[in-house]
Structure 1
């Protein structure tokens, strides 16, 4: 039988990679001195470099540095406490410490602002009780407040990876150090923490990517970061090329962080590949030490989940009639519709790409999968600029086609941006499912006459149902919480829960913002509970 030529065989894969990786070459093309507006874009960028760009970079640098230090400290401390010590509630804290993952950072920012601001219930109550006037607490809408919000919501990335590293790899070295006479503090400082260093580095890299990609917290707190600068250059200055060049700077930093995270993950795999260490037995604490460990674990849970949820429940308990119940159903339907379509398409694309890699694990296929998986590390604002820039070029060159109307302010544009951003999540889950299917099953199926997509339907799909369901759930939840891409590309009168929560909070209608914010938290709880269940079963 005549085989399909190599080039034709890889055309669908290359087209798929181009569909998902379009923002990156579009942003790189913005630096070429060609095309309409390129000279003006360069002048605006030079003007920004002389005025606001240093402030953007300085604020972003300080924000990232402080968040990295805070999450490394909180995540490492909680991981050490849960993995190495036994105290009241330790088994519960193993999964409770994951709950802040369900909280979008901008939702936590709204909740704390409503409760801690000058006119909030806490400062009002303190002024009435103490007979004082003026501001009694620091301004929450500040760099310090943003660091507090990000550390409270993002530390689980460090906690999860560090806990896995300590639980799997620290038992034998810790026991050897104990036999050599090292005290417990020294064993933790010189043995446990160095073993967990690659895991902490990988977690901090993920935290920094999330921090740099954020738009909701920085915009709501009025902070001048690179992410908000991209948004302003696009909408306020009305210059797409200048916004694209700013986005390229942010993309370069994110890709560098992604490289650091992958190197750290490789070091973790190398450290654990030689043997399977015994599970570390936690040391029972007594007296004040056990309660100190309890406080170390309880405080992040309270600050990252319990307190924000309680702050959002307060206006609901005070007066249910002021809440926009009728419009809430419309917002929820828009969110569910867009997220559901994205989840289904992302799983379908991931199945096709994973099957292609399984059938032909050559360099081209692996390169295509790497390009398709790049989008998850790209911030939403960067994806929007990278998608709309080539669309604008094509619209200017071929106005009769109406390409701009197909992508901007349409559900098609939103789903496209979601797929670029979150297809990597589905691909990773599907690939992990394929790793558990032996290749001998494929050989047996081919001998019985099944090949190609018949092999996928008859053999692989029954074994990939759980992985596909997990992939769809993760993509669905991430799409529900996506803010910047939805704000720019949404059709008129088609607001989602994330956009409405941001707009109501921006208009100081924090009580009304509680309802859509709580809905996003409830949706985000599903993958967190599944993750905690998987960890407990393991």
Structure 2
């Protein structure tokens, strides 16, 4: 692997590879620390204390998920620019010049900005554990003289480790797969190196080697987490425990809790949204046009087709494993969900090379045996792009549908089977209607994830096809960053829909 055939591979290995690795690891570690702080503390507060606007705030804490990393990065770059809102406020109200300028265009700024948009992964995992945590452990700690804070870091936090680590693992996957933010901030990572090798150096072999290394690194992290967990089991028997009772705090603490929770909400959603709305107000006339509406339509139908295909495949695999009752088929049906753990750029490279080989073979076959010329069937076409989307986001549809089907149980199936109803009729007439919420959630989650996806789309999109994410990236690359606002707002608005559904499902 470390002696790739690309002409520039030796140069990359000797002078640049260590830089790619160190930057990627730094972003992983720093984002993990920042998201841990921004996610766990608010999760503990909203789960254990009662104060005004608690339900509203715990919903608002999830909103940064509507912002893709690269859009948050663009917003902060503009906000702290020399002509940005921050400088304008200082000059107008405090008469302060550029002495207090904040430069976010670096690796530290990138780590902070990515953490602001990724902390909800940790927050949701931690809150899901805390709200179902038993009151008995906390009561025992109180009897032994431990305060709430000591009980938090001595009992609740260690018990929540699997949930928190699971959220952190999602953060790390997003960091390693990010391209738009790192490219715009000028930080060299493995993902930016893959793109540079493919487009600038025109060396697919080098891009493949870098992709393989990144994929192995991701799998190593997953195995490391599983190994670190070992055989430890963390569970509560819901029938024999009492859920956490929220404590009523005094007025001073209530204000303090609200201010603490507003920090991640402001950094991850309110401030970037203000910047995007400001840009949209000054660029709307220039951006809004018929070609832009065509881009919106392209993004919509690509996302919807991908979502529907993922739903159909998920239903087929789930019921195939259910009806066959074979452990082998059950194991095989869960293999496609591993695609979500692999960065989008790695999937794109992994699909592009074999499909290119297949298309060339197909063209030669058509020419040799039928004397007929055909174009590429998969590579560089919508078929290849949608296929890559399905590989990337299949797990996003599979898990909510599987969880919903498991929750409904088998009693209705058993009754219908006793009445002689065939399997496919049971699925269409009983299972699908009973699991409508899981199906709708799967469709919306895949739809939004597809619309936000950038690296995979950049590599595989056909010529002449444009999406909102790619258009926003092109505007930023051309230093027309203010014009990214309108595509960004469309992506953000669609991202708010599954967040609303997610909170409804979590009984907020």
Alignment partners' CA distance in 2, 1:370 and 1:419: 14
CA contact (8 A) 1:102 1:524 kept: yes
Corresponding residue for residue 372 of structure 1: 336
Alignment partners' CA distance in 2, 1:266 and 1:463: 37
Residues 52-75 of structure 1: CA distance to partner in whole angstroms, max 9, x if unpaired?
Answer: 110000000111100000011111
Q: 1:330 aligns with which of 263, 270, 294?
A: 294
Write the mapping of 1:302-451 to structure 2, written as runs, cut at 5 A.
302-318=266-282, 320-397=284-361, 399-400=363-364, 405-451=376-422
CA contact (8 A) 2:46 2:58 kept: yes
CA contact (8 A) 1:198 1:264 kept: no
Distance 1:320 1:39, change over 3 A: closer
Alignment partners' CA distance in 2, 1:355 and 1:366: 10
Residues 24-57 of structure 1: CA distance to partner in whole angstroms, max 9, x if unpaired?
Answer: xxxxxxx5x9xxxx9623x643432111110000
Q: 1:207 aligns with which of 168, 171, 181?
A: 171
Distance 1:134 1:444, change over 3 A: closer
Alignment partners' CA distance in 2, 1:409 and 1:311: 35
Is residue 218 from structure 1 mapped to residue 189 from structure 2 by the alignment? no
Number of residue pairs aligned between Structure 1 and Structure 2: 501
Alignment partners' CA distance in 2, 1:90 and 1:438: 33
Corresponding residue for residue 166 of structure 1: 130
| SS at 1:278 equivalent | coil
Alignment partners' CA distance in 1, 2:302 and 2:73: 25
Corresponding residue for residue 40 of structure 1: 5
User: How far is the alpha carbon of 1:313 from its aligned partner?
Assistant: 0.6
Residues 255-274 of structure 1: CA distance to partner in whole angstroms, max 9, x if unpaired?
Answer: 23334666799989742257
Distance 1:416 1:135, change over 3 A: farther
CA contact (8 A) 2:134 2:236 kept: no
| SS at 1:74 equivalent | helix
User: How far is the alpha carbon of 1:429 from its aligned partner?
Assistant: 1.8
CA contact (8 A) 2:306 2:446 kept: yes
Alignment partners' CA distance in 1, 2:234 and 2:97: 59
Corresponding residue for residue 497 of structure 1: 468
Alignment partners' CA distance in 2, 1:219 and 1:499: 13
Alignment partners' CA distance in 2, 1:442 and 1:188: 44
Q: Which runs of 5+ in 2 are unaligned?
A: 367-372
User: How far is the alpha carbon of 1:147 from its aligned partner?
Assistant: 1.2
Corresponding residue for residue 102 of structure 1: 66
Alignment partners' CA distance in 1, 2:482 and 2:241: 51
User: How far is the alpha carbon of 1:290 from its aligned partner?
Assistant: 2.5
Alignment partners' CA distance in 1, 2:43 and 2:240: 20
Q: 1:464 aligns with which of 421, 426, 435?
A: 435
Q: 2:22 aligns with which of 47, 58, 72?
A: 58
Alignment partners' CA distance in 1, 2:446 and 2:159: 32
Residues 154-206 of structure 1: CA distance to partner in whole angstroms, max 9, x if unpaired?
Answer: 11111111112122224211111111122333222212222222221111111
Alignment partners' CA distance in 1, 2:315 and 2:246: 41
| SS at 1:51 equivalent | helix
CA contact (8 A) 1:118 1:135 kept: no
CA contact (8 A) 2:352 2:460 kept: no
Task: Identify which range, 166-175 or 396-405, moves more after superposition.
Answer: 396-405
Is residue 147 from structure 1 mapped to residue 111 from structure 2 by the alignment? yes
Corresponding residue for residue 181 of structure 1: 145
Is residue 115 from structure 1 mapped to residue 115 from structure 2 by the alignment? no
Is residue 228 from structure 1 mapped to residue 228 from structure 2 by the alignment? no
Distance 1:408 1:290, change over 3 A: same
CA contact (8 A) 1:206 1:261 kept: no
Alignment partners' CA distance in 2, 1:458 and 1:413: 33
CA contact (8 A) 1:214 1:227 kept: yes
User: How far is the alpha carbon of 1:218 from its aligned partner?
Assistant: 0.9
Is residue 523 from structure 1 mapped to residue 494 from structure 2 by the alignment? yes
Alignment partners' CA distance in 2, 1:264 and 1:273: 24
CA contact (8 A) 1:409 1:491 kept: yes
User: How far is the alpha carbon of 1:441 from its aligned partner?
Assistant: 3.5
Taking structure 1 as the reference length, what is the TM-score of the superposition? 0.87
Is residue 487 from structure 1 mapped to residue 452 from structure 2 by the alignment? no
Q: Which runs of 5+ in 1 are unaligned?
A: 1-30
Alignment partners' CA distance in 2, 1:103 and 1:97: 12
CA contact (8 A) 2:4 2:209 kept: no
Q: 1:293 aligns with which of 235, 246, 257?
A: 257
User: How far is the alpha carbon of 1:319 from its aligned partner?
Assistant: 5.6
Distance 1:358 1:421, change over 3 A: same
Q: 1:254 aligns with which of 218, 226, 241?
A: 218
CA contact (8 A) 2:4 2:205 kept: no
